[in-house]
Chains A and B, each alone.
Chain A
């Protein structure tokens, strides 16, 4: 049955993706839920939460809030928390509850802005989508709200979109990805949301070029291109060292990668055209090769491996037991959005 998971467990949802983009930016993050979604995001999908402080709150919605649609109550609570925390902005992130009762997030944003006098990001995420769609909305909203001034372009400055722990399975992903770009000659590298603060987003128009390292960053890169003329390039310069070591032995073999699309494409760049890239997450047509696969769910995934054999499958360890019969070798490549596991050597 489609949408039935018997062997896998659910992947990181949209609102976790949104939080992963906003976590380090110093805003007041309000998850518009009854509490459980906040617990899931913090306790499972946000590894930085255990080691650093963030003004992350649950709206603590109760049945009467949902029945009566008490938006004013939420605005009041948000304004009070903003006073407590002194945050520069607030972000209202949706969950299944507002989705079911059809909360008007644009109106909520206007009401909160009026009450607090500070910028508000409103991020629609029903909890039914995947993390990349929530991250995409968060990047776009951030740029639209804060990157408004056209500044002179600074040569050697690069902006990076799409770096989150959910994609890169590291709590220091911003550092290692930025370092990869610096090795390629870029002087000032800012991974928005990971290692680079709100000020770098405000001055995003000064970037000479933007790089998109996972599909969630594309919409914001397009926006920056349209608004400021900043060109962008899709690539993924960072792969774990242990994985890179394995790639040499795969030349000419039939290989399938299951990960986020741009990481898969990077592996193909290094190994050769024999690599097929697949994902449960967003696959952008423009960056797909013939034969690449987007799995629609567990059923399609199991069916694929019932009919295909590979010399090697590269993917999150969670997939290992499901593909063992169809792969000569399984090469682990952690994807936090799948298993909630960090790369080897990374601890919370």
Chain B
């Protein structure tokens, strides 16, 4: 199984890059929350206590300060920070499950979650698990059908359904 080998691959991003990216993400969240908190009011009313924006505002102020410190710590080039965090092989493997997952969720809007999941599980088994097609088909259909029975028939929890289920009367 080639997948189990410790293939290093081309370095894509260092810890430093990721740290900076995440710190900036925090600062963006911070800016968004601050804007709305200011609209809601951040003062302490004499008879009522804090207004709705007070807590979120000071929370994100704390978050902002922490993130700036994190950013400042991440910026200098250090040995630790320079280490490779993600390699092309690693990213490729993650993409192998994540990109299909995004397609699966997208497809759920059109063909329902069960059909979409059967295709998702089946194709993953064929392409990455190297299962024969018939095995993949049987297992993925079985998982979809068991879940269908469980949620739709037994527990009456309605999940997104598509044309196939509609044709079957659900």
The answer to whether A binds B is no
